[in-house]
Structure 1
Amino acid sequence: MRLNFLSVFLLGNAQLPAPPAQPITLGEPLLYHAKVDSRTVRVALLEVDYGSEPARQRLRVQVAQSLTVRERIAQELLEQLLLPMGLMGLVLSALVYAGVLRGLQPLKRLEAQIERAGKRSHNAADPLPPIELTSAPQEVYSLASTINRLLEAVARGQQKEKRFLNDAAHQLRTPLAGLIGQTELALHESHEPQVRERLQKVLSAAQRSAHLVHQLLQLARSESNVPMQPLDLPQLACEVAREWTAKALAAGIDLGYEGEEHLSVLGHPLLLREALNNLIDNALHYAGRGATVTVRVYISAPSMAALVVEDDGPGVPEAHMGDLFARFWRGSDKPGGCGLGLSIVEEIALRHGGETLAETAGKQGLRVGMRLPLAENPSLSAPTTRS
């Protein structure tokens, strides 16, 4: 420390440099860098008055510290304070992360239950089971209860819709059957051309309505819970194909079966029979006279069996392949269809845990069907000859 009084050195280190050329304010410290023995130092300067009038005097005080010392002190502070604080921050971060994960576990269990319930449901028509949580915060319990109430409301709405569709189809079948019978009787008894023409139109409209009611009824049945059982898919396909042989011959169409002799799938016989009926009916209706329609059963993947109906008719444009299974969509204006047959096929395929397929067969034909899970790993057998 050096004391200056009228440029007289009193005490300290006389080598401390003077401040830079700038005004010094009395009573306010001045900080600046300087060199002492080729070492950079930080200097603090303060000038004060002391004494009384008329002998008032000014005292200058300078204090210098080497920057090396300052850097060493800063490094010691970093090592002694920041490092423990950093470690503490990491530990606290890990604790907070673990706490957040533990707090989110009930939501994870809730998500897993909803996902498992969705996997158990083959399609949107299956009601989801209620969500059950054994241990969870009150907020999560409230969320689960709200979801359960929503699921119950959706299930009730679905059941009402199914009952209405089923009841309406049942109620309409009897009067339509009577209308068709009476119209056919009137056609048989009438010999006037104009009357017969009008009766024929009435009969065609009644038959289309009856077909639509039948399709709606099958659609309602396909969306209900049905038991599954192992069955021989090729045997079922051959039986259904034989039932359509007479109608195919009357339409001038060659109908046959090609594929596996035995292949076991887990399914419902009536629903699969209805799906194949719709596929064959669709092929016979649109393929045209002189066409060839083939029912095929084969293994399409290691654990999947394919049930398809293939024809060499006019087919469907590639742009409309995605519309084939849409409800009430029709590929042509040819009378007789209602646009629900392939929709029912899709519902039945989803009910069995499978999927539908539609692709061009040959140059212009159509191959439509569904893939179904195998009941077991079957051994491949030689395809049968066309029947």
Structure 2
Amino acid sequence: MDCSSKTAIPKGVRVFPPEETALRRWAERQILTIFERWGFQEVITPTFEYLKVFSGDSEGEGGEKIFKFVDRQTGRLLALRYDPTPQVARLAATTLRHRPLPLRLSYMTNVFRYEAPQAGRQRECVQLGVELIGLERPEADAEMVAMVVEGCRALGLQRFQIDVGQIEYVRGLVDALDLEPDRRRALVSAINRKDTLELELLLQGLDADDKSKQAVLDLPTLYGGKEVLARAQDLAPNRRSQEALRNLTQVYEVLEQYGLADQVIIDLGEARAFEYHTGVTFAAFAQGLGSEISRGGRYDDLIGGFGYPCPATGFAFDLDKVLEAVAAEDRPPLVTSQKFLIIDFNPDKRHALRIARLLREQGYSAARDIIKRDLEGSFDYAVASGISRAIVLGLPHLPQDELLVRDLDSGAEERVPVERFCGEVERGERRWPM
């Protein structure tokens, strides 16, 4: 067998070495900590489902992007997890149905989507999200946006914005035109791309009133601050769009109370939403990235499809995009834990074992260098492994009851009696750096 066929991996998936994995775990902890602080409890959903759980998204980006296969036992179509939200919605409608509302549920999970191979597109990615179930008030939507902002700040991001829209405002305008399905899809696509020329071509010759057509043509311009809401009010030709605008205005007013108005951009020309979204939608964008790092919105009808009518809203961070944003701002995360390599040249390893145990009990990372090599070789290994400090025992010039602590970044060294060092570590009195 050709060795290359064994070492290759499928397109659209990645393997992460230790350094990248550590960065991903750091970002996950920042986001999950925000979820916990806002009162959300984590749940786990299946990696694969019956296809019908995900296949309702025929109008959006579903369908051909779902990985499908056949259950050999039942012959039914299964699918890899495409979107966690329907899974959490079903959980709320079944297992958690009799819990008091609202439900605050969070998740961190792998998502699988068939993407054409190209730069930046992965077929397997990690999403970290929340679902707030049982609240229909504008405060619930505002809470979701506020959590996204807090999550971005926890990641150290400074150059980001949240675009907020109302999908029912767009649907009200588009439905008023009474288009056949193909033309409707083309129109929605043009709205998403803010392609005013294509919008004009698609609206030509339509048997619809001029105000309705003009309202659609103006959608790409409805982007900015609070003044956009007043402009949109004058353009809305029907009750559905007007009610959606009133709802968005209420959400924006709550965001003002949060002090987040400067972080929020109104985008009423935003039509990129899952089929199940029913109200306010939003996305977080970081400077320098062409796609969002987080997306969410209201979905009041989805849980009803599982037999339990209940309003809900939520959002998710895309971990890969989050890390791209962190890298783009060139703000490496602060290292919050120390790593030690214990190098022991003594035949009797009891001191080394005790030191390793005490360091680990205090929350430090402590590895023993149990390969026979010279001291410089051990130091080189530690540096290559991202270990910041070495503890050395059994050197010829050291008494048996002393150890050497070396800072591998600065080269600074300190000789310490073993018993004093162990006592300071055990009592939490040892301070780093030296």
The TM-score range, normalised by the shorter chain, is: under 0.3
* TM-score, normalisation: structure 1: 0.19
Q: Which has the higher contact order (CA 8 A, sep 6+)?
A: 2
TM-score, structure 2 normalization: 0.17
Larger Rg: 1
